[in-house]
Amino acid sequence: MTTTPQRLALVLGAAALLAAAPARAGKAHQHGLARLDIAVDASRVSIVLDTPLDNLLGFERAPRTDAERQQADAAVALLRDGGRLFRIDPAAGCTLAKVELASAALKLGDAAAAPAPEGHADLEARFDFDCKQGGRAASVEVGLFEAFKRLQRLDLQLATPRGQMKAVLQRPASRVALVR
């Protein structure tokens, strides 16, 4: 896992608030499950997806056949289309600014130079949206279950101007409320 300053800050902030949640301290890798962190401020919504590669591809290594390469390309294309994967409440006036993907197994992003992992492998995706009034975002429609059939559950960590909270999104639900 990459420890970008933003991610570290979010994790540390969460740890401070949720001291009784040791599950997030470790690197959970459970097929069917992924982590989604959503951070909202006035001018930006940032979403970080941390998922076993199995949830996206059904395998966890570099593709070996044309069919697997096509599968990997299709998954990457779906992730790069972040504006369709995450539909933020239009009241916030958000537009997708940047998508960053990192996976050692798929040779993507920051992790591209890392040695391909043996056994299990993950992918991290970061989606940055520029927003006119981020604080007005009351919800996000998440299209991950639609896009990736193997994914069953998302453990959510939300950081908004109103505070932090945890939530779980279970297939087939798609709506994440950002306000209680």
Closest CB 49 distance from Zn ion, rounded Å: 15
What length is written for the chain? 180
Query: Please, which residue, 50 or 60, has the CB nearer to Zn ion?
Result: 60
- Token pair in block for residue 84: 């369709």
The kind and range of the H/E element at 66 are: helix 66-80
Closest CB 55 distance from Zn ion, rounded Å: 9
Query: Please, which residue, 17 or 33, has the CB nearer to Zn ion?
Result: 33
Q: CA–CA distance from 109 to each of 26, 28, 77, 105 (Å)?
A: 23, 21, 14, 11
Closest CB 125 distance from Zn ion, rounded Å: 17
Please report, as residue ranges, which positions from 43 to 82 form the binding site for Zn ion (by CB under 5 A). Answer: 52, 54, 60
Among 7-15, 82-90, 115-123, 139-147, which window interacts with Zn ion (CB under 5 A)? Answer: 115-123
Binding status of residue 120 toward Zn ion by CB under 5 A? yes
* Distance between CA atoms of residues 54 and 8, nearest Å: 25
* Distance between CA atoms of residues 113 and 105, nearest Å: 10
Closest CB 10 distance from Zn ion, rounded Å: 24
Q: How many residues bind Zn ion (CB under 5 A)?
A: 4
β-sheet with 86-88: strand ranges across: 86-88, 139-142, 175-177
Query: Please, which residue, 120 or 171, has the CB nearer to Zn ion?
Result: 120
Q: Which residues bind Zn ion (CB under 5 A)?
A: 52, 54, 60, 120
